[in-house]
Amino acid sequence: MITNSTMKSSSISKSTNANLMMLLKTVGHGCKRIIRNPLTAAGLVVVILLLVIAVFAPWIATHNPLAQQLSNSLQAPSAEHWFGTDEFGRDIFSRLVYGSRITLYIIALVTIIVGPIGLAIGTISGYFGGIIDTVFMRITDIFISFPGLVLALAFVAALGPGLEHAVIAIALTTWPPIARLARAETLQLRKADYIVAVQLQGASATRIIFRHIVPMCLSSVIVRLTMNMAGIILTAAGLGFLGLGAQAPLPEWGAMISTGRSYMLENWWLVAAPGAAIMLVSLAFNLLGDGLRDLLDPRN
């Protein structure tokens, strides 16, 4: 038994090693092609920059993002406060820097929730077909029949405002396109010779779906998830703006715009900087997603 399992694991590790090499090769090749397109490269740079800023926020920020100093409120941008200060005298630049963590937190959490759910529903639906497919796809249709923000609004209304609830609400609105995509891919794979071969070997449906179909769907699902990230950022910002997402004093970009709104006609910097940050990051993810799609689309 022991030898059997060690043999098995060693053969698996060998094959994963080979897979890993293949993957690295593909990724390396892909990176080269990404860099060749300046727009995609620009998107990639901004996304990496966002990650760096979020990780090193305490070293990059010039002030404490939460420290109020009322005597110093509503100051225009200056050498001391690069992007000015808000109505409580907090440094806007430092708040933006820390806000990048919230943005990434939302994106990461939504993606982690949505990816597996969408994949599971899509592949199961596509593999089994019939009544399971009909039921799952009907449910997907219902969710798709709403614009994202409105459905998210409804869910936040049901759950109550807050950052975690906003994440759940956004996740509930973003899984259907992933599920549809995974289903479409599965439908093409289902009749493939290698799947039939595994079926004849007596593999269970679970094994076929998770070991043989899901890996094949991954690349297109990842592209779709990247393109979704721009939408996630905008929806999260919209919820924050309406006061239903992250709550004060968290420096979430949408919420910063929302509170700055009361002072904006005289103090434009309160809303200009956070909005520009949202736009830049969302644009970067769009460019990156666009580039990835071109890369993986065989027609190009």
Contact between 128 and 160 under an 8 Å Cβ cutoff? The reply is no
CB of 216 to other proteins, least distance (A): 26
> Is there binding between residue 261 and other proteins (CB under 8 A)?
yes
Closest CA to 53 of 253, 289, 288: 253
Q: Which is nearer to other proteins, 214 or 236 (CB)?
A: 236
Query: Is the Cβ of residue 4 or residue 300 nearer to other proteins in the bound state?
Result: 300
Q: In terms of CB distance, is 123 or 286 closer to other proteins?
A: 286
SS3 content of the chain, % helix, strand, coil (to 5): 80, 0, 20
Query: What phi, psi does 151 have (nearest 5°)?
Result: -65, -40
Task: List the one residue from 162, 242, 249, 263 that touches other proteins (CB under 8 A).
Answer: 242
Q: Binding segment for other proteins among 14-22, 105-113, 137-145, 214-222 (CB under 8 A)?
A: 137-145
Q: What end-to-end distance do the CA atoms of the chain give, in Å?
A: 50
Point out which span in 8-16, 105-113, 208-216, 233-241 binds other proteins (CB under 8 A). Answer: 233-241
Q: Does 83 bind other proteins (CB under 8 A)?
A: no
One residue of 139, 184, 187, 203 binding other proteins per CB under 8 A: 139
Q: Which residues contact 174 (CB under 8 A, 6 or more apart)?
A: 110, 114, 148, 228, 231, 232
Contact between 240 and 157 (Cβ < 8 Å): no
The CB-based long-range contact list for 145-151 (8 Å cut-off, 24+ gap) reads: 146/173, 148/173, 148/174, 148/231, 148/235, 149/235, 149/238, 149/239
Is 299 a binder of other proteins (CB under 8 A)?
no
CA-CA distance, 238 to 106, in Å (whole number)? 13
Minimum CB distance to other proteins, residue 106 (Å) = 14
157 makes contact with other proteins (CB under 8 A) = yes
Smallest distance from other proteins to CB 20, Å: 34
Q: Segment 23-62, which members bind other proteins (CB under 8 A)?
A: 39
Residue linked to tokens 């760096």: 52
Please, what is the minimum distance in Å from the beta carbon of residue 78 to other proteins? 20
Residue numbers of the site for other proteins (CB under 8 A)? 39, 138-139, 141-142, 145-151, 153-160, 230, 234, 237-238, 241-244, 254, 257, 261, 264-265, 268, 271-272, 274-275, 278-279, 282-283, 286-287, 290
